[in-house]
Structure 1
């Protein structure tokens, strides 16, 4: 599995904060490199672990944490916001190198079992998941793996599905404005039932997100981190 480099904003105020961050990530399997800046309140981690797992490790220090960006040419994110109101999730797409796209997601609210993840053609959520077209298939593949077929995801006993796929077919630039969809597992693509979906939007690369406060409503990055920490 390819590694990704992720920038986190961590609310650190002193050297003791830095020490607690270092302690929580020391000897964690899957973490390859860590850079910590107290002045910038920034932690940059290179690893092959899911984003949510790294977020939770950093939050174990008691500090507020937010994802700020990814290394690589392109990055995107989809927040599941249509379909079954009990199903919520965040899915991130990171292109660390040409020809490799990491699909890194967490979905909550699914009953225990097997499901499937797809990219659909359109990001029109005006009618829930009904106006998003068909599974994205620009190559018109009929006898092999369809371009927008991401793979099977499993929901565990806690109704949480965490997944991290390395996809050598899709490109982040092709996904912007389309929809990420979770469906029931079915042998027939035409009959599969959509459960939840979200628009795929461009997100910041490494060190490309300087925002610490939203000019429209005064919301700080730490307020947003608090809202999203449950995902």
Structure 2
């Protein structure tokens, strides 16, 4: 499985914090390297684990954690009503790394749709994206299915060698009920796919949208 580098902001105040962070990421064969910077509160992890898995490990130290950026200049994020999802790209594959909450247990379809128009919710995002130029036998934007567990959470990390990130920025990501007999399932949640910050490109400590600190923003409950 392909590895990616993810930068986290971690609330650290001393060297013991640094040691606790490093210990939380030990003994995982999927992690190649960990770089912790106490001065900037930055933790960069090179691994094949999902963002959620890494964040859980870091939060197990009792410290507040926020995702800050992804390696390279080609990464995107889509914030949706039911959770959040990020897309990263390596030279050969597109990695869809996400967590979706608030679902009923069972399978769901995830896909990229034609437009980033949310004026009528998920009804105005168009069909599943399939450009005329593609030779793929599948619908280009059809990413397959994910499963929500008993608690209503679907956590996934998929690798796709067809999707190109440059093709989907500005379009939308949709979660739908599993389709039946060639009919699209009911769309449950959606969000516009926007470019994400790269490593060390997001130094913000105050959220411009509401003026609260990064750590207060992390502590806010999700609606």
* Interval containing the TM-score (normalised by the shorter chain): over 0.9
Mapped pair 1:91 → 2:85: yes
Residues 109, 77 of structure 1: alpha-carbon distance in 2 compared, 3 angstrom cutoff: same
The separation in 1 between residues aligned to 2:136 and 2:52, in whole angstroms, is 35
How much does 1:218 deviate? Answer: 2.4
- Give TM-score scaled by structure 1 length: 0.90
SS at match of 1:122: coil
How much does 1:142 deviate? Answer: 8.5
Q: Could you tell me whether the CA contact under 8 Å between 2:207 and 2:217 is conserved in 1?
A: no
SS at match of 2:120: coil
Mapped pair 1:170 → 2:163: yes
Query: Which residue in 2 is equivalent to 1:23?
Result: 23
Q: Which consecutive residues of structure 1, in runs of 5 or more, have no partner in the other structure?
A: 82-87
Deviations 1:152-174 (A, max 9, x none): 10111111111111111112221
The separation in 2 between residues aligned to 1:154 and 1:114, in whole angstroms, is 4
SS at match of 1:128: strand
How much does 1:32 deviate? Answer: 1.2
Q: Could you tell me whether the CA contact under 8 Å between 1:102 and 1:164 is conserved in 2?
A: yes
Residues 217, 117 of structure 1: alpha-carbon distance in 2 compared, 3 angstrom cutoff: closer
SS at match of 1:163: strand
The separation in 2 between residues aligned to 1:138 and 1:211, in whole angstroms, is 37
How much does 1:187 deviate? Answer: 3.8
Please point out which of 188, 200, 205 is paired with 2:193.
Answer: 200
Residues 217, 196 of structure 1: alpha-carbon distance in 2 compared, 3 angstrom cutoff: closer
Q: Could you tell me whether the CA contact under 8 Å between 2:4 and 2:46 is conserved in 1?
A: yes
SS at match of 1:72: coil
Q: Which consecutive residues of structure 2, in runs of 5 or more, have no partner in the other structure?
A: none
- Give TM-score scaled by structure 2 length: 0.93
RMSD of aligned Cα (Å): 1.9
Mapped pair 1:123 → 2:116: yes
How much does 1:191 deviate? Answer: 3.7
Please point out which of 86, 92, 113 is paired with 2:106.
Answer: 113
In the alignment of these two chains, the number of paired residues is 223
SS at match of 1:35: strand
Deviations 1:117-161 (A, max 9, x none): 110011111111111111100136687111101111011111111
- Write the mapping of 1:54-73 to structure 2, written as runs, cut at 5 A: 54-73=54-73
The separation in 1 between residues aligned to 2:187 and 2:135, in whole angstroms, is 21
